Amino acid sequence: MMSNHSSATEFCLLGFPGSQELHHILFAVFFLFYSVTIMGNTVIIVIICVDKHLHSPMYFFLGHLSAVEMLITSIVIPVMLWGLLLHGMQTISLAACVAQLFVYLALGTTEFALLGVMAVDRYVAVCNPLRYNTIMNSCTCISVVIGSWVFGFLSEIWPVYATFQFTFCKSNVLDHFFCDRGQLLKLSCDDTVFTEFVLFLMAIFIIIGSLVPTIVSYTYIISTILKIPTASGRRKAFSTCASHFTFVVIGYGSCLFLYVKPKQTQAAEYNKIVSLLIFVLTPLLNPFIFTLRNDKVKQALRDGVKSCCQLLKD
């Protein structure tokens, strides 16, 4: 416990409960997941850059989405892994906590913007195929991607600034494996109700704001697909959207549970479980979702493996 007039200059992360043996098991599991995540998303980025058949708006956006997934998980998981190896509580400085929270939230916002853009891209491809190359030209694609990254980082400046304007004098122990905003607000001696409400409204604007064009786009997409006379035509049209739609359900679902609620200071156990979905499960599934359900990516992977085998033989 800290004095009523002092604020924490560093925080202790409780991480996961349990014995040291359990922590070692968790370390092995999460390290494996993290390694697969980094390798899988790196492979996606590389094949998109190398294979000329994937030089289209859909895969351009997918490459940026994979980059965001790699960065998000790399902001949190290495810190969590290090904490699992320590015998005592892990400490993190105030500056590092600010940086971690800001970058994580900024990347998350960028991801939502990219998912909205990808939904609109699929809408144009399915519903206006003849105008697709005109609408989704290289200039448009580059502009919306830059806009997504800039919006993501600029929109989180005030929320993070407002969070760290409070005095954290109740304690400096965070019941989490990273600098979670909800757990930070629980340590404040100040009245956080108004700020939490503003943060709630901003979460609605960012998450729901990017979800609306996704829902509208898929409403038109499904309507258009159902009008296709042949079953093979319907299947081919839907296959171009299935991967993105699956990722949207997983990504938005976990974040809606975690952030779109008036009270940011929910139970730590609940918070940790949902956070694991965001930092571990979603980035891990991303390469599998976009490879196993996409014929072009699978073909590009096969071509890449063949090229590597050819080089090794020579």
State the average pLDDT over residues 209-215. 87
Q: Does position 4 have pLDDT exceeding 60, yes or no?
A: no
In a domain, 214, yes or no: yes
Task: Express each pLDDT in 140-181 by its tens digit.
Answer: 999 999 999 999 999 999 999 998 988 888 788 888 888 988
In a domain, 72, yes or no: yes
Region of poorest pLDDT, from 65-79, 117-131, 136-150, 264-278:
264-278
Give the bridge partners for 298, in sequence order: none
In a domain, 5, yes or no: no
CATH number at residue 16: 1.20.1070.10
φ, ψ for residue 42 (rounded to 5)? -65, -40
In a domain, 164, yes or no: yes
In a domain, 182, yes or no: yes
Number of domains in the chain: 1
In percent, how much of the chain has pLDDT > 90?
A: 30
**Percent helix, strand and coil across the chain, each rounded to 5?**
75, 5, 20
Look at residue 7 in the predicted model and tell me its pLDDT: 63
Instruction: Give the separation between CA 159 and CA 99, rounded to whole angstroms.
Output: 13
State the average pLDDT over residues 251-274. 64
Task: Express each pLDDT in 35-62 by its tens digit.
Answer: 999 999 998 899 899 888 888 898 999 8
**Can you give the residue range of the structural domain that contains 201?**
10-261+270-301
Q: Does position 245 have pLDDT exceeding 50, yes or no?
A: yes
312 against 161, higher pLDDT: 161
Determine the distance from the C-alpha atom of residue 203 to the mean position of all C-alpha atoms in its chain, rounded to a whole number: 14
Look at residue 305 in the predicted model and tell me its pLDDT: 76
In a domain, 105, yes or no: yes
Look at residue 293 in the predicted model and tell me its pLDDT: 66
For the record, the structure tokens of 144 come out as 């919306």
Banded pLDDT at 292 (limits 50, 70, 90):
low
In a domain, 3, yes or no: no
Region of poorest pLDDT, from 126-135, 218-227, 229-238:
229-238
State the average pLDDT over residues 84-111. 89
Rg (CA), the chain: 22
Q: Does position 187 have pLDDT exceeding 80, yes or no?
A: yes
In a domain, 280, yes or no: yes
CA-to-CA dists, residue 47 to 51, 60, 111, angstroms: 5, 11, 21
Region of poorest pLDDT, from 14-18, 88-92, 124-128, 308-312:
308-312
Q: Does position 269 have pLDDT exceeding 90, yes or no?
A: no
Q: What is the pTM of this model?
A: 0.86
274 against 268, higher pLDDT: 274
